[in-house]
Structures are given as structure tokens and as C-alpha cells.
Chains A and B, each alone.
Chain A
């Protein structure tokens, strides 16, 4: 699948813009789609469903041992109890990172991804480099993301070939100890829940004053 090559892009993108406009116009005129329904779908994934959902799940598992156990035993139910579920997350499995084992999730055949907890997948997840490399050289993929783990760490790659969707439960950084779930959610990145990153302290805002 092609990455965005800038020179080639403009005529291709103008063509797609016209093509999709014509298609949507046709389907509306034929009564096959309701424009307000299309808007609602877009709005759902732009605002309501995104990685903030997964971050809340992970943060809760970090502070609540009983919830963590439920999440690892029946992720679909545990995640549903927080109000998340549905399309592309009907059958969830949570996989926990440990000091010995690091998990990574991929869909080599297309782009299967746990939408209810992570929203829509990023371009890199759906593209050939990741799909090709994750199952053959996961340590190399981590290096592409600037992540280095001890050579003895077991890498466990999950290829999502069916409708089961995987959520990585990253380890809680030691520095995060003592924070509550709401604060901890900011430590959980989207990439940490895919397995191409680690949980880390929230990025300081650009306008923050320098430390004394």
C-alpha cells in the first residue's frame, strides 16, 4: 500500500475527491444513504471513539487489581463495563506486557484494529512496511519506533487474522506510582496499546515555564 508521496499526490487526491463526491451524490440521490447518518459516523470517530477510551481502560487496570484480572480473563466484558464496545471490538483480548514479555499487535492481511478502544488505525499500521515487518522482525519495528528492549525480552506478536481484537496492556512506569486513574490515562499512549511504544509521562505543553 502506497505511503503518501508528495509529488504524485495532488492529482491522485483531486481524482479521489471528485470520485467520492460523485459517489456520495449518487447514493444520496438514489436514497441509499442518508447524509446525516454519514455525518454521525464521521463525528463518532472524530470525537467520541478514540485511544482515550483504551487509555482509561489501561489506567483503571493499573490501579484496580480486580479490574486488571477481569480485563485479562474477559476483556470484552471488562471493556464494555466502561461503556466501550461494538464495531471491530466485539471479541476483545487484552495482553499484558511484563518485564519478560513485550506484546505487539498487527494485521498482516489488512488493517484489523480494536476500534472501540483505539479509534481508527494510523496510516503506518495499515501500510506495507508494518504489515510485512512486524511478524518477521518485531525488534526491528521497535527500533523504527525508537524503542529498545533487552535482547532477552520475549517478543510476542499477535496477527489479528480473525475478529478477535487485541489490546496491549503496557507496564506502568515506576514514576507514575501514586497517581489516580484519571491522571494515569495521560501516560498511556496509543502506540503503547498497539505494542510499538511504551507508556510514558505526559508530554509537557510547549508553553510550560522552564523548571527552576
Chain B
């Protein structure tokens, strides 16, 4: 989605201003927001791509005007309401309305360490060979999916070079297409593709800067004049 979350190259936000001695959390509610989001996410009713998609899908002014954990909470509420884990009224009041809860995998305290240590690896086996290899010149396609994608606008239509091949990984654009499990993982070969800054930003850009993105194979084509592996 060409949303306001896709920030690479936007101007007008001013300098980066790190806070001196920044605390890990700025308020107690931020800690609880982090914990609740992770714990409910562990229930498996959505996946990380659906949760990112939910955050990106907040109204643009809300996204830009909200602090980080406020975005998390708003998106979490939407994810839960969509799946009838809770109603808006329940969330507002803090009081269950008596509807029997749907089956849900609760994260127990003694399972937290193992759950965090396991994470959610996205690597998957794949039979077909990689289309591209290190050194290949590739074109990031000029695609504008309305749904969730991880190809930033600033690279679309530009030519870069494959520098790393990461094996096959769950493909986010497909991983969000079902509301409930089982999700469509559609593993695709994943590449790190590097672009010269001047390719992306024109002749005014730094002559000594290169920028990479991690791009799945469906995002790429052989560069004009180049061919992928047969």
C-alpha cells in the first residue's frame, strides 16, 4: 500500500533528534502495550505481516500523529475486533459482555521465555532454484499493490545489484490475504539488492552512498539488457 508509513525519502520532518538518556519506556502504559501486543499476537490469530498491515492501515493523520505504542494499541484493537476476540464496547469499558470466548491459545507465564527465544522464523524450504544470484543487475518493479507490501516506493522502477541471497522466506504480500489461519505463506526467494544513491535520488545525491532493500523475487525483474539465470 502506498501509505504514509512508506517514509523513505520524505522531506520536511527535520533533523533526527535523539533524546538524551532516553528511558526504555516513557510511561507505564507503553510497557503494558508492548506486553499485551506480544501476548495476544502469540495466540496465532494473525501473523506479523497482518499486524504490520493493521498499523499501516490506520488513517494517515492518525498514523502520523500517534506515538509508537499508540499505533500498536490502535492496530491491536482493530485486529481483535475484526476477529471477534473483543468488541469495541468491551475494549472501551474493560468489561466482558458475557459472550463465550472463541478458542484462543493463551500465552502462559512459564511459556514466555521459550516463545521469545523461538521467535517466528520466516525461512522456508523451496524446490525451485533462485532466479537471481549475487552480482545480477535487477529492476525493482513498478508495482503499487493496494494491500500490504514490503517494496518501498523509493526503489520501484530502479536498477540495483543483488548482493545477498537469503533463501526462501514467507512472502508478506500473500501472507496477509487471509484473515484467519491457515495463512498463505507462499515462500519466495529473498535477495538483498543494493542501489547507488544517485540512481535513487538523482545527480544531487551523495556519490558515495549505496542503499539496499531486502526484496522477494516477485518484486524483481532482470534489469533491461540483463537476464536472470535460466
Q: What range describes how many residues of B lie at the interface?
A: 35 or more
CA distance A182 to B8 in the complex (A): 38
- What is the interface size of chain A, counting residues whose CB is below 8 A from a CB of the partner? 85
CA distance A20 to B31 in the complex (A): 10
Inter-chain contact B210/A154, CB cutoff 8 Å: yes
Tell whether B223 is near chain A: CB-to-CB under 8 Å.
no
Interface-lining segment among A54-62, A63-71, A83-91: A83-91
Tell whether B120 is near chain A: CB-to-CB under 8 Å.
yes
Chain B residues near A25: list those with CB within 8 A: 94
Inter-chain contact A22/B93, CB cutoff 8 Å: yes
Contact of B212 among A46, A127, A153, A159 (CB under 8 A): A159
Tell whether A212 is near chain B: CB-to-CB under 8 Å.
no
Tell whether B229 is near chain A: CB-to-CB under 8 Å.
no
Chain A residues near B14: list those with CB within 8 A: 129
Chain A residues near B123: list those with CB within 8 A: 90-91
Inter-chain contact A33/B39, CB cutoff 8 Å: yes
Among all A-B residue pairs, the 5 with the closest Cβ atoms: A36-B109, A162-B214, A108-B8, A22-B94, A38-B35
Q: A-contacting residues of B (Cβ < 8 Å)?
A: 5-11, 13-19, 22, 24, 26-29, 31-36, 38-40, 43, 48, 52, 55-56, 63-71, 73, 76-77, 85-86, 90-96, 101, 104, 106-109, 111-113, 115-123, 150-152, 154, 164, 166, 169-170, 172, 190, 192, 194, 197, 200-201, 205-206, 208-216
Q: B-contacting residues of A (Cβ < 8 Å)?
A: 1-4, 12-13, 16-17, 19-27, 29-34, 36-42, 44-46, 49, 85-91, 93, 108-111, 119-120, 122-124, 126-141, 144-145, 151-164, 191, 196
